[in-house]
């Protein structure tokens, strides 16, 4: 059961770190938001939400297969390139952008070297992203083939906005052994054309987006459209500020504490959790087939902590 006082205490502590940003919420507004969040959590619990309310790791029907390794601390990211076709205000990637291949935080000269990194850290899932990875299609395909050639099967998900994703590349990715695609439909301003094409090649074509609080009608419509298309999974993230995006997040009117960060650390915007929970409840009530998973800032912090603990155990010769 939800412990209301504990949850409100956590949220109030986070809100204290957000109040100095642009568009600062007044104390009464903060209190009202906290109360609305508790009501949303109560409604979600009453209507059968799955996962952990305390950790904000919540989903409506089924956990996406590509998220299981990540939640267990056995996942990683492979950045094919830092270059991108878009310039989203919420983007948290390094600026200025660089055209480098980085796997598990390690810069690699060749995609085929990725297998050594995955074996060294006993990883089980890889999210291939960027930037926009399809800007470097040959590098992308070589990476997928190298990961698929590993003796122990690794889960491979491709994150893309779809701008450069042709039918030919989709076919090649299928042949190379890619498991699934995840589209950022918000980056593409809710244009779902690439998603429809991808479904012809990959049954597990998913969508992964930040929940933008001032675009809630479009976010809700996105849930209904994806459900009607037969998309199986939608992952939603809490909008946050960090060193790389704090200025632009503030320009959008969202209060954040990201500008004070000395490193690439995140802090949720004041409106982010409420918006994500509201969208999750909408999906729970309205989506017939689409399963929506809320990967919050708390969830991502948990994932990072599990991954770090696991790396320490591996360095000490512990179990894999």
Q: How confident is the model at residue 23 (pLDDT cuts 50, 70, 90)?
A: very low
How many beta carbons lie within 10 A of that of residue 82, not counting itself? Answer: 19
Q: For residue 309, what pLDDT band results from cuts at 50, 70 and 90? A: low
Segment 75-101 shows an average pLDDT of: 95
- Give me the mean pLDDT over the 49-75 stretch: 91
Of 133 and 244, the one with more pLDDT: 133
pLDDT reported for residue 263: 43
State residue 317's pLDDT score: 63
Give the single-character DSSP code of 282.
H
**Strands lying side by side in the sheet with 57-59:** 50-52, 57-59, 291-295, 233-238, 205-211, 180-183, 155-160, 125-130, 75-81, 101-103, 106-108
For the cut 70, the answer to whether the pLDDT of residue 193 exceeds it is: yes
Assess whether pLDDT exceeds 80 at residue 26.
Answer: no
Average pLDDT for 211-234: 98
Q: What's the pLDDT at 162?
A: 98
pLDDT in the model for residue 310: 62
- Residue 280 confidence (pLDDT): 98
pLDDT computed for residue 318 by the predictor: 57
Tens digit of each residue's pLDDT (9 = 90 or more) over 101-134? 999 999 999 999 999 999 999 999 999 999 999 9
Residue 18 above 70 pLDDT? no
- Mean pLDDT value across residues 9-25: 45
Residues whose CB is less than 8 angstroms from the CB of residue 133 and which lie 6 or more positions away in sequence, other chains included: 79, 80, 81, 140, 158, 159, 160
Average pLDDT over residues 5-17: 43
pLDDT of residue 216: 98
CB distance 253 to 311 below 8 Å: no
Q: What is the pTM of this model?
A: 0.86
Give yes or no for residue 259 having a pLDDT over 70: no
Please name the residues in contact with 200: beta carbons below 8 A apart, sequence gap of 6 or more: 167, 170
Q: Assess contact for 45 and 94: CB atoms under 8 A.
A: no
* Mean pLDDT across 221-241: 97
Q: Give CATH for domain 4-235+272-315.
A: 3.20.20
Cα distances (angstroms) measured from residue 212 to each of 98, 218, 298: 27, 9, 18
Tell me: pLDDT of 260 over 60.
Answer: no
**For residue 18, what are the CA distances in angstroms to 22, 50, 216, 272, 300?**
9, 29, 21, 12, 19
């Amino acid at each position: 059961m939800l412990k209301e006082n504990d949850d409100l205490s956590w949220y109030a502590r986070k809100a204290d770190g957000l109040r100095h940003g642009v568009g600062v919420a007044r104390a009464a507004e903060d209190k009202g938001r906290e109360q609305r969040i508790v009501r949303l959590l109560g409604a979600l619990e009453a209507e059968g939400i799955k996962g952990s309310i305390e950790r904000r790791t919540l989903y409506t029907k089924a956990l996406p297969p590509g998220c299981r390794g990540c939640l267990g601390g056995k996942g990683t990211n492979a950045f094919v390139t830092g270059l991108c076709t878009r310039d989203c205000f919420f983007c948290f990637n390094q600026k200025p952008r660089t055209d480098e291949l980085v796997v598990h935080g390690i810069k690699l000269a060749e995609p085929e070297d990725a297998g050594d990194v995955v074996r060294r850290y006993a990883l089980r899932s890889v999210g291939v992203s960027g930037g926009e990875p399809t800007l470097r299609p040959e590098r992308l395909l070589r990476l997928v083939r190298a990961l698929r050639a590993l003796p122990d099967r690794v889960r491979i998900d491709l994150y893309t906005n779809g701008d450069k994703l042709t039918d030919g590349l989709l076919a090649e990715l299928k042949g190379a052994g890619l498991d699934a695609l995840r589209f950022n439909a918000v980056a593409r301003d809710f244009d779902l054309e690439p998603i429809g094409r991808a479904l012809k090649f990959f049954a597990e074509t998913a969508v992964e987006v930040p929940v933008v609080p001032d675009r809630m009608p479009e976010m809700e419509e996105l849930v209904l459209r994806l459900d009607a298309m037969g998309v199986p999974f939608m992952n939603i993230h809490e909008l946050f500020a960090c060193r790389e995006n704090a200025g632009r997040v503030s320009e959008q009117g969202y209060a954040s504490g990201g500008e004070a960060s000395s490193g690439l650390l995140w802090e949720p915007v004041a409106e982010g959790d409420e918006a994500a929970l509201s969208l999750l409840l909408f999906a729970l009530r309205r989506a017939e087939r689409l399963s929506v998973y809320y990967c919050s800032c708390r969830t991502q912090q948990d994932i990072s902590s599990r991954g770090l603990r696991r790396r320490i155990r591996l360095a000490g010769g512990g179990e894999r």
